[in-house]
Amino acid sequence: TPAALAARYRTRMSGRRMLVLLDNASTVEQVRPLLPGSPGCLVLVTSRDGLAELVVRHGARRLELGPLSAEAGFELLRGLIGDRVDADPDSAYDLVRRCGGRPLALRVAAERMTAQRTATIAVTTVARVAAPARVASVFTPDHAWPRVQPVSPAASAGPPPMRSRERPAR
């Protein structure tokens, strides 16, 4: 049972100094059973949701991270799609801007470009990724793969800061 697994986990953690990373949590109910009872443990939870109950009831500290800078987004794209970034840096920076500096959105764009090996960043940006109605990329609650949701044209100006870094696509 889940309760038995959580108890076994806490027993194994007891007396140990550990760093536990809980990535992309969507609810406090997902996190609570994995909070070790041992004082030597540190838990780092990433989420796109506030999870205020962790702060109120469990003494968590919130650290909100904003979007990547233009330079960091450019470097992320370079790491994902390589030479195409250097071949057209202006389009790469435009893509970073249109994706709002969000790592997940940039990874979705890079995956689309990887699937179309001959497409340039400029063509992909205009045709597939950053058309104003397709800018926002988010995970669906029940799936591990991002989907693109329609948003207003104003979204191309950039979204508000993120609450945490987004989980990389696998």
pLDDT in tens, 8-62: 988 888 888 999 999 989 999 999 999 888 788 899 999 988 899 999 998 899 9
Is pLDDT at 115 greater than 80 in this prediction? yes
Q: Say what the pLDDT of residue 127 is.
A: 57
80 shares a domain with 6: no
Q: Say what the pLDDT of residue 126 is.
A: 59
What is the count of structural domains for the chain? 2
The answer to whether position 126 is within a domain reads yes
125 shares a domain with 99: yes
82 shares a domain with 147: yes
The answer to whether position 147 is within a domain reads yes
Q: What percent of the chain has pLDDT over 70?
A: 71
42 shares a domain with 83: no
The answer to whether position 163 is within a domain reads no
Is 157:151 a contact under the CB 8 Å cutoff?
A: no
Is 6:34 a contact under the CB 8 Å cutoff?
A: yes
Is 68:102 a contact under the CB 8 Å cutoff?
A: yes
74 shares a domain with 150: yes
Is 134:150 a contact under the CB 8 Å cutoff?
A: yes
User: Could you list the residue range(s) of the whole structural domain that residue 77 is in?
Assistant: 70-157
Global confidence as pTM? 0.58
Q: Say what the pLDDT of residue 61 is.
A: 92
Q: How many residues can be counted in the chain?
A: 170
87 shares a domain with 22: no
The answer to whether position 120 is within a domain reads yes
146 shares a domain with 80: yes
